[in-house]
Structure 1
Amino acid sequence: MSRTSVRSDVSIAVSVWRALFLREASARLAGARAAWIWILIEPAAHIIFLMVVFGVIRHQVRQDANIEMFVFVGVWGFFLVRNIAQRGMEAINANQALFAYRQVQPVDTVLVRATVEAFLYVIVGAVLLAALALLGIDVRPADPLLVLWAAFLLWAFGLGLGLMFSVIETLLPGLGKVIRIVFTPLYFLSAVMYSVSSLPRSMREVVLVNPITHGLEAMRSGWFAAYHGEAHISLGYLAFCALATVFLGLAMHMRYATRLTAQ
């Protein structure tokens, strides 16, 4: 008697994710000439520029955090969210041909892209930290678990945005350009280059509406033992926003599943 092996749904999903991960990683790193260099240079350029602005031009040095790591945390954390959201937004259109295989669903492409981007940014962060350490800068976090938890929540929030934006970009392509533009002012409203506690109270309340701000300030609190951030920073708020966006994004994928694969 011949045995017929039936693969479980979990086994099929894992195989699909593994194949998509290898495909996305290859495309991300080899899609254009020196693409991997740009992945490293973009955040490095922002960090160097802000170090010059704060350390030389304005002579602003915080007493509770070294300026190099202060800038690093802000830039790395924001770029993590932005890149996951924007790359996730493009995932469905970039993988339309794969939906001919019923095992591959639109949501899979977004989840895998978010994972690939997180993997790449962990490498980018490690390389930049190594470079700073070679310059004699103390890169050791005071509370690594808090830093990792805040980074994970930022990743989850970026994933939620990517899930929602991917549906919007596929069904209403014109809105994708607007979403990309919105990330520019969001850069200045996410505490990338300043501490929330240094802002006037009226401006502080506006900035604290942004969940990314809570993640970046929490990472700084975990990195610097003496860092005095805003008292109203809440990882619970960031976790709620991350969970809400992921839930809403998955609901949108379920609601418009047929239309997403028929584009």
Structure 2
Amino acid sequence: MMALALREMETTYGRSPGGYIWLVLEPVLGITLLTFVFSLAFRAPALGSEFAPFYASGVVPFLLYTDVSIKVAASLTFSQQLLAYPSVTYMDAIFARMLVNVFSQLLVAYVVFTGILLIYDTQGAIDLLRIIQSFCMVIALSFGVGVINCFLRLRFPIWATIWAILNRPMFLISCIFFLFETVPQPYQDFLWYNPLIHVVGEMRAGFYSNYDAPYVSQLYVYGLSLGLAVIGLILLRRFHRELLER
């Protein structure tokens, strides 16, 4: 797993100019652009008085979910040649890529949130436990979605394209730009089943002491994540070798 992790770091970040710098610049530039655009149209965000903390609390966990789930989904094809060695298992490939990208995104989150807290006033003490809980939720979700998609990509090669299309609206419907409470019925009831709603809600409850996010269900997110992960791992254990050899 360590060898696979080092290989992932070298191929993903070591060969491009700037390496990890671009990983940090992506959310920073995205938050800056959102802050600039929405500050022209609105006087204040839905929470607090500054736009940057509001959007950062939504964009950062969303980018972690997107990056980690996509990387985990492609982990077996990424390490396909190495899986020919008996000592390298499919679990090694999945967990090595998972760990590298989770720690990379947590590093990005630390840099972005530290900068946000130093520059802006979040109006109250942050709840570190709820922020950590939000990260745990999104990591579990990313793993579950990534593992089931790993099997589906091997079984149906076109699934990568289909999933990219299905996943595109998630940026708009995951409460990055608005609060869940502002969504009218009956759409609010349907939107509740989007697990990223709960992740972002928990994150914002950690950043804003006056926001409780009572709709957040940790049980739902962890249950969904566990279910997807178990199904995906069972299917991969049974079929991964014959699918890779096709």
Q: Which moved more, 1:105-114 or 1:204-213?
A: 105-114
- 1:117 and 2:101 are equivalent in the alignment: yes
In the alignment, which residue of structure 2 is the partner of 1:44? 28
Structure with higher Rg: it is 1
Counterpart-to-counterpart distance in 2, 1:49 and 1:110: 34
Residue of structure 2 equivalent to 1:55: 39
Distance 2:211 2:38 in 1: 17
The partner residue of 1:186 within 170, 179, 187 is 170
Aligned to 2:81, the other structure's residue is in SS state helix
CA RMSD in angstroms comes to 2.1
Of 138, 143, 147, 2:127 maps to 143
Whole-Å Cα distance in 2 between the matches of residues 145 and 125 of structure 1?
15
Gaps of 5+ in 2: none
Change (3 A) 1:54 1:261: same
Aligned to 1:227: 211
TM-score normalised per structure 1: 0.86
For residue 158 of structure 2, the aligned residue among 174, 183, 190 is 174
What TM-score, normalized by structure 2, do the two folds share?
A: 0.91
Q: 1:254 — aligned with what?
A: 237
2:4 maps to which of 7, 10, 20: 20
Identity %: 22
Distance 1:208 1:102, change over 3 A: same
Contact kept in structure 2, 1:111 and 1:159, CA below 8 Å: no
1:82 and 2:82 equivalent? Answer: no
2:84 counterpart (100, 121, 125): 100
Q: Deviations over 1:204-252 (max 9, x none)?
A: 11211111111110111122110153x3221111111111111111112
Letter matched to residue 29 of structure 1? Y
Query: Hey, what does 1:160 align to over in structure 2?
Result: 144
Native 8 Å contact 1:110 1:166 kept in 2: no
Deviation at 1:54, TM superposition (A): 2.9
Report the CA distance between 1:43 and its aligned residue. 1.5
Pair 202,27 (structure 1): closer, same or farther in 2 beyond 3 Å: same
Q: Distance in 1 between matches of 2:47 and 2:165?
A: 35
1:118 to partner: Cα distance? 1.0
Contact 1:99/1:261 (<8 A) preserved: no
- The separation in 2 between residues aligned to 1:160 and 1:62, in whole angstroms, is 31
Residue 243 (str. 1) matches residue 226 (str. 2): yes
Looking at structure 2, the residues matched to 31 and 47 of structure 1 have their Cα atoms a distance apart, in angstroms, of 26
Deviation track 1:28-50 (CA, whole Å, cap 9, x = no partner) reads 21233334233122212221122
Please, which runs of 5 or more residues in structure 1 have no aligned partner?
Answer: 1-16
The CA distance in 2 between the partners of 1:259 and 1:31, in whole Å, is 32
Q: How many residues align?
A: 246
In structure 2, C-alpha distance between the alignment counterparts of 1:119 and 1:171, rounded to whole Å: 29
Letter in 1 for 2:63: F
Give the Cα separation in 1 of the matches to 2:93 and 2:121.
Answer: 39
Partner Cα separation in structure 2 for residue 133 and residue 56 of structure 1: 22
Distance in 1 of aligned mates of 2:33 and 2:76: 34
Separation in 1 of the partners of 2:224 and 2:124? Answer: 29
Distance in 1, matches of 2:241 and 2:14, equals 31
* Contact 2:72–2:143, Cα closer than 8 Å, also in 1: yes
Counterpart contact for 1:69–1:139, Cα < 8 Å:
no
